[in-house]
Amino acid sequence: MTSLRRDNRSFVSAAMFCASILLSPVATALDLLPDFFSKPEISKNIWKEQEQYVALSTQGKRGEAFPPNAHPATLEVEDIRDALQSLEVWSEGGFFRNEESHPVFASGQAEVLGRYVAEALLKAKSTEDIIFTVRGYGKLALDTLKEREWSSGRIFYADGKLNIIIGTYRLKKDRGIKNAEAAHGVIDNYADLYFDPGNRLKNTGKMEGRIVTTEGVSIPTAAEGGRSDWVAINVPIAAQAYREALIPEEQKKTTEKVKQESAKLTLERRQMREEMARLRQQIKELGSGEAGAQTKSLEERLATLQALRAKNLITDEEYQRRRDEILQDI
């Protein structure tokens, strides 16, 4: 029975995919075929859960040559997670942050990628990239219904930055195909979807808008010229900027005030240590008898002694004794 159900799913999926090809314009159909039937070359799976995965793969197709990556590399899981959460897409591709911007990765996706990309970077060779597919849930209607969507792409570390190329962005399964499959008892079958691993040579992401260049996020030289799918991330800087952006403004002011007061206190302590060192030297000179008399007038020595007493650096008894010693020199 299980075998028949699996065969039924495969048949329906194949039939629906072929139908979508036949019903598409000729150019679109021809474009779909190479992508759907070409699979990325995976050299090692780091993590896999159903259709989701993080894996090591070649930098490109056979015959394509690219500069070596700086692999293996060590980055903190939390830094990768927060740096990825800092990425935003502007739907209009504008220059100012507005209500049209939204995160590239949901928090759950960033959590998964942070954990397994960090592991993959430790195991990757200089000739390998990291490819991934992660699932999310997009709003369907009135924020109450959601449907599955997928993002996929390619990640590698080079020139001190984590490069990410988006291949598939928020891909959803065609609702008509889903309904047709459901009519034949096929539920949650995503074998017919193609998750593009991203490409260094051309933009395949089909993103509506572009990834924002913010603090720690830039466009690499190789991606200049209009590509909206490729950014390079200075991970520690981007992660720190993301964390600071989460802090309420009032708390930032309080934190800044505490920092300023702490810096002021540190300066005062240093000045106090210097003053105490100077006064200790003066005490030493006061007790040296003739040497003290040679370097200071009696008035200066008495004034210094009074200053020491005023600052509670000597006791009343010591003050009186030192004063008597000075007066004996008259």
**pLDDT(224) > 90:** no
Q: Output the six-digit token pair for 286.
A: 């006061």
Report residue 311 CA to chain centroid gap.
52
Kindly report, residue by residue over 64-74, the tens digit of the pLDDT.
899 999 999 99
Report residue 157 CA to chain centroid gap.
13
Predicted confidence at residue 289, as pLDDT, reads 53
66 in the same domain as 106: yes
Residues 70, 121 contacting (CB under 8 angstroms):
no
* Least-confidence region, from 100-114, 173-187, 197-211: 173-187
91 in the same domain as 114: yes
Kindly report, residue by residue over 230-239, the tens digit of the pLDDT.
999 999 999 9
Predicted confidence at residue 190, as pLDDT, reads 78
Across residues 197-205, what is the average pLDDT?
88
Residue 275 lies in a domain: yes
Residue type, 300: E
Q: Can you list the positions of beta strands (E) in the chain?
A: 42-49, 52-58, 88-90, 101-103, 128-141, 145-158, 161-171, 210-211, 217-218, 230-233
88 in the same domain as 70: yes
Kindly report, residue by residue over 82-101, the tens digit of the pLDDT.
999 999 988 754 455 554 78
Last residue of a domain, one of 220, 246, 272: 246
Residue 212 belongs to domain spanning: 39-178+187-246
pTM as predicted: 0.66
Predicted confidence at residue 302, as pLDDT, reads 79
**pLDDT(294) > 60:** no
Report residue 299 CA to chain centroid gap.
66
47 in the same domain as 81: yes
266 in the same domain as 300: yes
Residue 106 lies in a domain: yes
Q: Output the six-digit token pair for 325.
A: 């010693």
Last residue of a domain, one of 246, 275, 290: 246
Last residue of a domain, one of 213, 246, 279: 246
Four-residue CA torsion sign, 283, 285, 290, 294 = negative
96 in the same domain as 239: yes
**pLDDT(26) > 50:** no
**pLDDT(320) > 70:** yes
269 in the same domain as 168: no
C-alpha gyration radius of the chain: 34
In this structure, the dihedral spanned by the alpha carbons of residues 284, 285, 291 and 295, taken in order and rounded to 10 degrees, is: 160
Residue 23 lies in a domain: no
Q: What contacts 73, CB < 8 A, 6 or more positions away? A: 121, 122, 124, 157
CA 230, CA 216: separation in Å to the nearest integer? 14
56 in the same domain as 93: yes
Residue 15 lies in a domain: no
Domain count, the chain: 2
Residue 29 lies in a domain: no
Residue 11 lies in a domain: no
Across residues 250-257, what is the average pLDDT?
69
Q: What contacts 50, CB < 8 A, 6 or more positions away? A: none
Question: Is the model more confident about 326 or about 172?
Answer: 172
310 in the same domain as 218: no
Residue 285 lies in a domain: yes
In the chain, the N- to C-terminal Cα span, in Å, equals 118
CA 210, CA 100: separation in Å to the nearest integer? 11
270 in the same domain as 139: no
Share of the chain above pLDDT 90, in %: 38
Across residues 143-162, what is the average pLDDT?
89
Q: Which of 9-13, 109-113, 178-182, 243-247 has the highest mean pLDDT?
A: 109-113
Across residues 115-134, what is the average pLDDT?
98
Partners of 153 in beta bridges? 132, 166
Question: Is the model more confident about 248 or about 131?
Answer: 131
194 in the same domain as 88: yes
pLDDT band at 20 (very low <50, low <70, confident <90, very high): very low
Residue type, 34: P
pLDDT band at 19 (very low <50, low <70, confident <90, very high): very low
217 in the same domain as 297: no
